Amino acid sequence: MAATITCVAPTRSQLGEGAVWDVVDQRLWWVDILGGLIHCYDPVTGSNDSYYFGEPVGCIARRDKGGLVVAAKSGFWFFDPATGARQPIADPESHLPESRFNDGGTDAQGRFWAGTMKDMGDAQPVGTFYRLDPDLSVTAWKGGIWTTNGLAFSPDGKRMYFSDSNPRVRTIWSCDYDTQTGTPGDPQLFFDTRAVPGRPDGGTVDAEGCYWQAGIEGWQLYRLSPKGEVIQTVDVPVEKPTKPMFGGKDLDILFFTSLSLGLTAPETQPEAGSLFAITGLGIKGVAQTRFAG
Contacts of 107 (CB under 8 A, 6+ apart): 113, 153, 157, 160, 177, 179, 182, 289
201 is catalytic: yes
Quick check: helix, strand or coil at residue 262? coil
Partners of 153 in the β-ladder: 160
Dihedral of CA 238/123/111/35: which sign? negative
Compute, in degrees rounded to 10, the torsion defined by CA atoms 82, 87, 93, 98: 50
CB 61 within 8 A of CB 291: yes
Report how far residue 6's alpha carbon sits from residue 152's, in angstroms, rounded to the nearest whole number: 24
Q: How many Å from the N-terminal Cα to the C-terminal Cα in the chain?
A: 41
Dihedral of CA 5/9/10/14: which sign? negative
Active-site option among 119, 164, 201, 252: 201
DSSP states of 217-246 as a string?
Answer: TTTEEEEE-TTS-EEEEEE-SSS-EEEEEE
Quick check: helix, strand or coil at residue 263? coil
Mark residue 84 as left, alpha or beta (left: phi above 0; alpha: psi -120 to 50; beta: remaining).
Answer: left
Compute, in degrees rounded to 10, the torsion defined by CA atoms 123, 93, 57, 243: 60
Sheet holding 4-9, edge to edge: 4-9, 275-279, 253-258, 241-247
Active site residues: 201
